[in-house]
Amino acid sequence: MDFGFELRRIITGHNDKGRSIVTLDGPPGGQIGNLRDIWNSVGPDVDSVSTEDRGAMPVTLSPEPGGHKFRWFLVPPVDPSISEEEYAKIVKARFAKMGAEHEQPDTSRHPAMHKTETIDYIILLSGEVTLLLDEDERHLKPYDVVVQRGTNHAWVNKGTEPALLCAILIDADVR
């Protein structure tokens, strides 16, 4: 799905003299479906001299142990021309492509339900979307923020325009 605008990241760092520079300026590299990674890390250290594109790593749903993910994702409107069975197959294939089959412990409420061992900070930038939980749901409008604390959830767009969200996922020991 097209985001409707050019996605651009500006990544800063240091040169070999310790002076601040731009190390990357352009679109994100990692993509699966409607999800594009901006940046990933492992552990608390930041190597500001490296020119490695940490957004072009293989796309996984969750960050590495001790790491984080910073990403954009689109939730397209529900497509009435796709049957529930076909939609469930599409979703299952996307989770498999991200190596995240194990992060779908209960899809009885919706095929896209998933649960990660993370704390996530999510901002709805445009469109409207509904956050589904096992026993609750909330309709979001632009600039609403969700602090997702390792709960089983899905995003459903009942509107007519794609919903654009930005998220930071941080590996956590969720209790």
Closest among 123, 128, 137, 141 to 38, alpha carbons compared: 123
Look at residue 148 and tell me whether its pLDDT is greater than 90.
yes
Lowest mean pLDDT among 49-53, 89-93, 123-127: 49-53
The mean pLDDT of 6-14, rounded to a whole number, is 89
**Token reading at 72:** 């954009």
Residue 146 CA to residue 139 CA, distance in Å, equals: 11
- The correct CATH number of 1-175 out of 3.10.580.10, 2.40.10.340, 1.10.620.20, 2.60.120.10 is 2.60.120.10
The structural domains of the chain, with segments of one domain joined by +, span 1-175
For residue 14, how far is the Cα from the chain centroid? Answer: 28
- Position 1 scores a pLDDT of 53
- Position 56 scores a pLDDT of 86
The amino acid at residue 35 is L
Residue 91 CA to residue 87 CA, distance in Å, equals: 6
Residue pair 38/54 in contact (Cβ under 8 Å)? The answer is no
Question: How deeply is 46 buried, as exposed, middle or buried, from its count of CB atoms within 10 A (0-12, 13-18, 19+)?
Answer: exposed
DSSP letter, residue 114: B
Express each pLDDT in 66-122 by its tens digit: 999 999 999 999 999 999 999 999 999 999 999 999 999 999 999 999 999 999 999
Bridge partners of residue 4, in order along the sequence? none
DSSP letter, residue 103: G
Tell me the average pLDDT of the chain.
Answer: 92
**pLDDT band for position 41 (50/70/90)?**
confident
Residue 99 CA to residue 115 CA, distance in Å, equals: 13
